[in-house]
Amino acid sequence: MTNPNEMVSVRYMVNDVAAAVAFYTKMLDFTVLTNFPPAFADVARGKLRLLLSGPTSSAGRAMPDGAKPGPGGWNRIHLIVDDIEAEVTKLRDAGAKFRNDILSGPGGKQTLLQDPAGNVVELFQPAQR
């Protein structure tokens, strides 16, 4: 396991920590580092540490102006895959939801997968060089 101090950490707000842990571990091959439902868990894949913060976590508390952190924005983690079509088929067959179909551009192909809370995970297949 990579030392957490050497990892890149990204925090996602989620509605249900247990559902998020199941999604990332079963669908995207993350491993659980810690799990304190319903408030918090963190999972890892390579050098990426994903902090999954539920509504009862300290990260879910309202700001002084009353704004409340929530899931489902457009910021996202970016995972490289070898065969995007096969990956999308596997994930759709497992019940995953996507925001769009596969798009092609000069750098490769991408699509946006949604976790159970609506947070985005970009799947990306680099173009052949």
93 part of a folded domain: yes
65 part of a folded domain: no
49 part of a folded domain: yes
pTM above 0.85, yes or no: yes
What's the total number of domains in the chain?
1
- 2-17 pLDDT, tens digit each: 677 789 999 999 999 9
66 part of a folded domain: no
User: What's at 66, amino acid-wise?
Assistant: G
Range of the domain at 22: 4-58+72-126
- 36-75 pLDDT, tens digit each: 999 999 999 999 999 999 999 999 999 899 998 999 888 8
Supply the mean pLDDT for the chain.
94
Which CATH number do you get for residue 51? Answer: 3.10.180.10
What is the Cα–Cα distance from 30 to 50, expressed in whole angstroms?
Answer: 9
84 part of a folded domain: yes
101 part of a folded domain: yes
64 part of a folded domain: no
63 part of a folded domain: no
- 101-124 pLDDT, tens digit each: 999 998 999 999 999 999 999 999
